[in-house]
Amino acid sequence: MAVPGGAQATPPDPTASVPSLTPGSPTGSPSESGTPGSRTPSTPPATGGGQPAGGADAVSSSSAVMVTPKPPKASTYAYGRHPRQRLDAYWRPGTGTGTGTGAEGQEGQEGQENAQARRTPPGPAVLLFHGGSWITGDKSSWKYFARRLTNEGYTVFSANYRLAHQAAWPAQRDDAMAALDFVKRNAARWNIDPDRIVAFGSSAGGLLASQLGTYGQGAQRVRGVLALSPVNTPYLAYQDGLKADATGGQRYLRRAVVKLVGCVPNEADPECWQRVDDSNATTHAGAGDAPALLMHAAEELVPSTHSTALASALRGAGVGATVKVVPGDGHASELLEDATVYPAIRNWLRARTK
């Protein structure tokens, strides 16, 4: 979830201009814009290596150059017919091919990569969901974080989903499940293990990741759930926005919840309340769910109370769940600025996907 001007504010959907694509067809490279909390190192200029005065006895100094990893391969795919039902795939040769049946580039280098991928055991994957209060945001905001994860050996997918003004809940969860199903059906395309996929989301996208891990038999769907500032209890956000001392961000999030469920939460309206209750990830927590690592900042817009009830319900059902709270008021991708967050993400992913 992001308030205007927040870390999850992103450009318009770069694939919205291709609604005629059939599901599963590649649509080209993902947008270059958007950076959710992961910075790529710049390459410093080389230090001088010229010869000082002194003729033959002079010693030439060497120069050190920082090497930036080569970007992974990337393509955009349609997992449904709506313009928002698109996902970006990021992979590196040897961990997957990304080309699939009927795609271009089966000859030469691509053919060699295909052969190499066939000799490589299928690897793990991460499916990302962006924030934006369910009313804005774009998959391209994960671009640099996705690159970082590919350096760790993961094939990474970043999915868009229908926004609240386009369809009310549970359309967003439906899209998240459809994106995951698409990835699993086409696992061989990227040489990934469909049983080793982790759902990862921030803020509003964190709720979708949590729902993938708790709705029905979540452990059969994903290997685990990892979320930054997940709005796991939308009704709590609605209540916080009604307080007399509510901040502008809290009031904004309250209005976003109303748009998400398509009604004003009211127990006297059974149909509306059913959607509100269904949007709460804790409602679905049970013994067959996926383990979770849920992260919040101590003084942020979406407090850890959005996740403590869920974690308690999961642990009560025998499912591992951890809520990590870091200092400060950072929200969503801003949590990555804390030095302990990315190592915790990396270690947790390794443990869950090995």
Domains, the chain, ordered by start: 70-353 (3.40.50.1820)
Q: Which residues pair with 129 in a beta bridge?
A: 159, 201
Q: Which residue has the tokens 């990304």?
A: 98
**First-to-last C-alpha distance (Å) of the chain:** 30
Residue 56 clears pLDDT 80, i.e. is over it: no
**Minimum mean pLDDT among 10-19, 68-77, 146-155, 320-329: which range?**
10-19
For 258, the 3-state DSSP assignment is helix
Supply the mean pLDDT for the chain.
83
Rounded to whole angstroms, how far apart are CA atoms 221 and 17? 31
Of 191, 197, 193, 204, residue with least CA distance to 160? 204
Instruction: Write down the pTM of the prediction.
Output: 0.79
- Name the burial class of residue 315, with classes exposed (0-12), middle (13-18) and buried (19+) by CB atoms within 10 angstroms of its CB: middle
Banded pLDDT at 114 (limits 50, 70, 90): low
Q: In 184-217, which positions are buried (b, 16+ CB within 10 angstroms) versus exposed (e)?
A: bebbebbbbbbebbbbbbbbbbbbbbbbbbbbee
Under 8 Å between Cβ of 169 and 261: yes
pLDDT tens-digit profile of 219-266? 999 999 999 999 999 999 999 999 999 999 999 999 999 999 999 998
Under 8 Å between Cβ of 323 and 307: yes
Rounded to whole angstroms, how far apart are CA atoms 100 and 78? 14
